[in-house]
Amino acid sequence: MVTLSRDCYEEELAGHVDNSQPPRCIMDSCDKCGRAGELMTLAEVAKYLKIAERTAYGWVAEGKLPGFKLGSAWRFDKADIQKWVQEHKDRAEGEDA
């Protein structure tokens, strides 16, 4: 499934003949334009990963978790975190084989 940002979705919808059925769905990142998705805080990432905030902070400080500083606060692109989780899941499944 292709995912689109709100702007790209509206462009697709405007060009779509049958407006009763949307052409695609809106998700957190856009496959069409590559626009970044939803930003998350350290607390939100920790909750999403079901880990302690201290652990998330340690991982991002060590470069193990994708994130960036916005001023003095860490921020995370949700699509990057989802990709990171999938990569780790795939790696773990490969080790079990």
Cα–Cα distance between 40 and 96 in angstroms, integer?
31
Tokens of 28: 């957190």
pLDDT in tens, 25-77: 444 455 555 555 688 999 999 999 999 999 999 999 999 999 999 889 999 98
> Is the whole-model pTM more than 0.75?
no
3-state SS, one letter per residue, for 20-41: CCCCCEECCCCCCCCCCCCEEE
CATH 1.10.10 spans which residues of the chain?
38-97
Q: How far apart are the first and last CA of the chain?
A: 28
Cα–Cα distance between 46 and 60 in angstroms, integer?
11
All residues at 6 or more sequence positions from 54 whose CB lies less than 8 Å from its CB, including other chains = none
Mean per-residue pLDDT, 77-90: 92
- One of 1.10.3470, 1.10.10, 1.10.860, 3.40.1000 is the CATH number of 38-97, namely 1.10.10
pLDDT in tens, 8-29: 656 665 655 444 554 444 444 5
